[in-house]
A and B are shown apart, each in its own frame.
Chain A
Amino acid sequence: MAEKSSIIVEFRAVNFQIGDAMIIDDLNLRIYKGEILILLGESGCGKTTTLKLINRLIEPTNGEVLVEGKATTDWNAIDLRRRIGYVLQEAGLFPHYTIAENVALVPRLENWEAEKIRRRTTEMLELVGLNPNKFADRFPHELSGGQRQRVGVARALAANPDLLLLDEPFGALDALTRVNLQKEFAALVKDLGKTAVFVTHDLHEAFVLGTRICLMDKGKIVLNDTPENFQKADLPLARAYLETVSSIERKI
């Protein structure tokens, strides 16, 4: 019983088709409170699609996705999305909004009081390591790629959601910035007690951040285990990923 109540997202035999193409193929997955679940896989294997099924940007063709025990199709889509934080690849910030306005988006949609929004925005910018005095009134194009990703994370956290979906948030950043952000992010999520579903195609990132790794291939989950067990796996695809990491380490 205890375990069941701590499931925050559950995929039950989920298929997702576009025309004849099977994008997600019989996906079964439970995501527990407090996890950082990594969706790992090559480009085109269905990671983004899996995320979008959770906040009902798309709906399953067959099967169901439960969020907090209720099928996404039974949720009001707007309510569901506002209680799930979403960080997009390359941030997807509104170019005509200031940084503060971008961060304040969901609280404003939820009609928070102005003063509460202002405090929350300041708090969020500090949390992701951006000085509010310096950044609040700037526009996205005046920030570096790394700073924009931080704003993206602040925006996703602003309305205090329990669940965060992150779609390769650090993918487009240079290596150094990426490593810094990964560390800070891992600490942040742990401190705040959030659950996160984190998409990446980078095994190293998966090891740094993940409490569990789901390896995907052609719309299926082919391996679902802890980082420690992942290293010992026999699966050829998993071994191929491990090769990439060890070959880098060998070179170093």
Chain B
Amino acid sequence: MNFFEFLQQNWSELLALTREHLYLVFVSTAIAVLIGVPLGVLLTRRKSLQTPVLGIANILQTVPSLALFGLLIPLAYIGGIGAKTAIIALTLYSFLPIIRNTVAGISGVDAKVKEAATAMGMTDWQTLKQVELPLALPVILTGIRVAVVIAVGVATIAAAVGAGGLGTYIFRGLRQNDNNLLLAGAISSAILALFADFALGQIEKLYALENLRNKASQNKRKFVLIGTAVLMTAIFVLPFVSNSRFQIPNSRNDSESGNQTIRVGSKDFTESIILAEIMAQTLEKRGITVERRYELGGNLAHEALLSNQIDVYPEYTGTAFTAILKRPPLTDTQKVYDETKAEYAGKFDLNLSPPLGFSNDFAILVRGEAARQNNLQTVSQAVPLSKNWQAGFGQDFMSRADGYAGFAKAYNFNFTKQPREMDLSLTYRALASGQIDLIAGNSTDGLIAALDLFQLADDKKYFPPYQAVFIARNDKSEVLRETFAKLHNAISTDEMRRLNYAVDGEKLAPKTVAAEWISRVYK
């Protein structure tokens, strides 16, 4: 599928994501202006506050965006997943340019003019409103323009906390190794940024001193004010009319008063989304309303479950056991399942479903061609050859207890080159194109066959088992029991690889793939 066909088929989703993106940017900028401009004004009145406040704003802006989003997740009230968290993070980013330019704009007003205003008997408020703000406006507008352009960029990260926007395409494109998605997300957000820069630049000009004196531009200014008001209203109101993503979590649906809504979450990779979609559609077939909260990165899905923002999501026993319960890795499949189930019930009041049938274990992968040349079958056989190999691993594998450190030790790996730490979805592509020689992927990944990669057998039984299960809140167990039973041992590893490839390789929507599977398996 070329890029234009892709756009033709997906333009309505692209528009929806663009609107979500704009919503995030506009709301956060509006909040940042409403707080930042008065704060900037205050700083010109209390000069001793300037250094500390601008210092804090400065530090906020240097926090990497993904880290800021991550820090906000576990916080009560302001954190969590969804648009709210993203808006708060974006607002924090927008503060610096807005506050700084408000201070600079007002301080830059000719001291003689300010003195005249006071000497003529203007109150501080009158001086501010009639003299300082009008004369500082072009500088303040520059600050807003900078803030908006930054926010358009940073908002692409918002997809990582389930806030939607164009980042959804970018993350999905990276994950599925799909250039069309990547391009559509990246180009759209770049165009948005350029357009915002241009449009706000034009508005700025209308408020420049030369034009304030120009009667002809007065009508244009009126037009801009009305236009901004209309746009703001539209963007604020639309999401509440048509999109559930923006309904603030926590504020609803906490009681189960016969309410048959289930909030299904997923992690941020294809398999998890397919499983969540299978769960969602199976529930919907039973007449249960489903809210989808997909693509939650890292431990977000677990956090969301704990803080009652979702009810159920697909997980792996090995991940739950080591990454969440912080237990040392075990290789006994049944034992891992039993202990995880018991500890989840006791510690978190969460319920593990019966296994779905397949495991998504760590898979040590090399290029098929390299495996055939050297007649490789197991990891142990690769060790002597690997001295000059460049390995590449996802952040997850590099950091977890059962990940790189233990693996290298167990097999006595001795890489001369430091393994490269990169996004997991990028490692497949880098391996296939020969930039790296060994990666740790997932055994059910559809790309393994698609890119002609070869999985080396874990002959030392180092990796713990990763049985797929659903984890649910206990208060939803009643509703979910039937579906859990239905999905017990329903999906084999081969089947899962096939489903994954249908999405990653054949570019079908997870929704479609899940629906097809359901209709095939249940008559």
Which residues on the B side are within 8 Å of A89 (C-beta)?
A: 112
- Choice from B115, B121, B209, B212 contacting A92 with Cβ under 8 Å: B115
CB of A19 closer than 8 Å to a CB of B: no
- Choice from A90, A96, A106 contacting B213 with Cβ under 8 Å: A96
How far in angstroms is the closest Cβ of chain A from B172?
50
CB of B492 closer than 8 Å to a CB of A: no
Which residues on the B side are within 8 Å of A78 (C-beta)?
A: 121-123
Cα A94 to Cα B122 with chains together (Å): 13
* Contact, CB under 8 Å: B213 / A139: yes
- Choice from A79, A81, A96, A139 contacting B120 with Cβ under 8 Å: A81
- Choice from B119, B123, B126, B209 contacting A95 with Cβ under 8 Å: B209
- Choice from A81, A93, A95, A96 contacting B121 with Cβ under 8 Å: A81
Known contacts: A96-B135, A96-B212, A139-B213. The answer to whether A57 contacts B119 by CB under 8 A is: yes
Cα A93 to Cα B110 with chains together (Å): 10
* Contact, CB under 8 Å: B112 / A106: no
Which residues on the A side are within 8 Å of B131 (C-beta)?
A: 94
How far in angstroms is the closest Cβ of chain B from A51?
9
CB of A88 closer than 8 Å to a CB of B: yes
* Contact, CB under 8 Å: B135 / A95: yes
CB of B118 closer than 8 Å to a CB of A: yes
Closest B residue to A106 using CB positions:
B120
Closest B residue to A90 using CB positions:
B112
CB under 8 Å from chain B, chain A span 50-101: 55, 57, 78-82, 86, 88-96, 98
Which residues on the B side are within 8 Å of A141 (C-beta)?
A: 213
Render B83-121 as a binary contact track against A, CB cut-off 8 A, 1 for contact.
Answer: 000000000000000000000000000101101111111
Known contacts: A95-B209, A96-B134. The answer to whether A88 contacts B121 by CB under 8 A is: no
Cα A107 to Cα B436 with chains together (Å): 78
- Choice from A80, A94, A96, A139 contacting B116 with Cβ under 8 Å: A94
Which residues on the A side are within 8 Å of B122 (C-beta)?
A: 78, 105, 109
* Contact, CB under 8 Å: A81 / B119: yes
* Contact, CB under 8 Å: A95 / B120: no
- Choice from A57, A82, A92, A109 contacting B112 with Cβ under 8 Å: A92
Majority secondary structure of chain A interface residues (helix, strand, loop or mixed): mixed
How many residue pairs at the A-B interface have CB separations less than 8 Å? 58
How large, as a class, is the contact surface on chain A?
20 to 34
Cα A81 to Cα B121 with chains together (Å): 5
Cα A92 to Cα B112 with chains together (Å): 5
* Contact, CB under 8 Å: A109 / B121: yes
* Contact, CB under 8 Å: A106 / B121: yes
CB of A212 closer than 8 Å to a CB of B: no
Cα A247 to Cα B75 with chains together (Å): 80
How far in angstroms is the closest Cβ of chain A from B213?
5
Render B275-293 as a binary contact track against A, CB cut-off 8 A, 1 for contact.
Answer: 0000000000000000000
How far in angstroms is the closest Cβ of chain B from A65?
15
* Contact, CB under 8 Å: A79 / B209: no
Which residues on the A side are within 8 Å of B134 (C-beta)?
A: 96
Known contacts: A88-B112, A94-B113. The answer to whether A81 contacts B118 by CB under 8 A is: yes
Which residues on the B side are within 8 Å of A96 (C-beta)?
A: 134-135, 209, 212-213
CB of A220 closer than 8 Å to a CB of B: no
Cα A55 to Cα B118 with chains together (Å): 10
Closest A residue to B130 using CB positions:
A94
How far in angstroms is the closest Cβ of chain B from A54?
11
* Contact, CB under 8 Å: A82 / B118: no
Which residues on the A side are within 8 Å of B209 (C-beta)?
A: 95-96
> Chain A CB within 10 Å — which of B113, B116, B117, B120 has the most?
B120
CB under 8 Å from chain A, chain B span 114-154: 115-123, 126, 131, 134-135
CB under 8 Å from chain B, chain A span 93-146: 93-96, 98, 105-106, 109, 139, 141
Which residues on the A side are within 8 Å of B117 (C-beta)?
A: 94
Closest A residue to B112 using CB positions:
A92
Closest A residue to B118 using CB positions:
A57
Cα A95 to Cα B116 with chains together (Å): 12
CB under 8 Å from chain A, chain B span 455-477: none
How far in angstroms is the closest Cβ of chain A from B217?
13
How far in angstroms is the closest Cβ of chain A from B140?
14
Render B289-316 as a binary contact track against A, CB cut-off 8 A, 1 for contact.
Answer: 0000000000000000000000000000
How far in angstroms is the closest Cβ of chain A from B120?
5
CB of A155 closer than 8 Å to a CB of B: yes
Cα A105 to Cα B131 with chains together (Å): 11
Which residues on the B side are within 8 Å of A82 (C-beta)?
A: 120-121
Which residues on the A side are within 8 Å of B112 (C-beta)?
A: 88-90, 92
Which residues on the A side are within 8 Å of B119 (C-beta)?
A: 55, 57, 81, 86, 88, 92
Which residues on the A side are within 8 Å of B121 (C-beta)?
A: 78-82, 106, 109
* Contact, CB under 8 Å: B113 / A155: no
Closest B residue to A165 using CB positions:
B119
Cα A141 to Cα B214 with chains together (Å): 13
Which residues on the B side are within 8 Å of A109 (C-beta)?
A: 120-122, 126
Cα A58 to Cα B222 with chains together (Å): 40
Closest A residue to B214 using CB positions:
A139
Closest B residue to A92 using CB positions:
B116
- Choice from B115, B123, B135, B213 contacting A88 with Cβ under 8 Å: B115
Cα A79 to Cα B134 with chains together (Å): 25
Which residues on the B side are within 8 Å of A93 (C-beta)?
A: 113, 116
Cα A98 to Cα B213 with chains together (Å): 8
Which residues on the B side are within 8 Å of A94 (C-beta)?
A: 113, 116-117, 131
Known contacts: A96-B135, A96-B209, A96-B212. The answer to whether A105 contacts B120 by CB under 8 A is: yes
How far in angstroms is the closest Cβ of chain B from A128?
17
* Contact, CB under 8 Å: A57 / B126: no
Which residues on the A side are within 8 Å of B120 (C-beta)?
A: 81-82, 86, 105-106, 109, 155
Could you give 5 example pairs across A and B, Cβ below 8 Å? A88-B119, A95-B209, A105-B122, A109-B122, A155-B120
4 shortest A-B CB distances, which residue pairs?
A: A92-B116, A82-B121, A81-B121, A92-B112
A residues sitting closer than 8 Å to B (CB atoms) are 55, 57, 78-82, 86, 88-96, 98, 105-106, 109, 139, 141, 155
B residues sitting closer than 8 Å to A (CB atoms) are 110, 112-113, 115-123, 126, 131, 134-135, 209, 212-213
Beyond A86-B116, A95-B110, 16 additional pairs, beta carbon < 8 A: A79-B121, A80-B121, A81-B118, A81-B121, A90-B112, A92-B110, A93-B113, A94-B116, A94-B131, A95-B113, A96-B212, A96-B213, A105-B120, A109-B122, A109-B126, A155-B120
